Amino acid sequence: MIWTRSHRRDPRALVLADRHYSRQKPGTDQFVKAGSCAVFYAEVDGCAALWATVVQRFVGHAWPGAWECALFRNEGAGVASKLIRDAVAATLAHYGEPPTVGMITFVDPACVRKKRDPGHSFIIAGFRPIACTLKGLLVLQLEPDRMPAPAPLAFSAPSFLEEAA
């Protein structure tokens, strides 16, 4: 597994987050929305990937309690569906027992590369399309019984003290 633990202010990951279509305020130092988060970063031969799972107490969607993949961006670090499966395994190691509703993610078909099925890499990784929001976002869900085994990661992001130096 190539993922390493990171954090919501990791400057390496910020560069990737700023290029993600869902980023609301590019350039701000925190790229993960409020709530508990598990952020993973990967770098291979100059290519990178970023994953952020968020757990929020109060949500504005129909799947309360679900872990939400709030951000996934792969810029050539590996096969996207494998990166997704590995990130889910790392999320399980981070949070423990998944909620009964599992994990969800939202995909905006209008903002991703035109292809026959938006969210294709998530679908290959085991997620299933379950709904479409009023704003036209495709909702994908990974139920707990379809999740991989937990796989813990090492922490490798620069600390806040190193960032300040």
- In the chain, domain spans: 4-146
- What is the full per-residue pLDDT of the chain (165 aa) written as tens digits? 889 898 888 888 787 777 666 666 777 777 777 788 898 988 888 788 887 888 877 777 788 889 999 889 888 888 999 999 999 999 999 999 999 999 999 998 877 766 668 899 999 999 999 999 999 999 999 999 999 999 988 665 554 444 444
Closest C-alpha to 77, from 42, 115, 41, 103: 42
CATH 3.40.47.10, domain 4-146, yes or no: no
One-letter amino acid identity for 88? V
Token pair listed for 44: 């291979």
Residues in CB range of 58: below 8 A, 6 or more apart: none
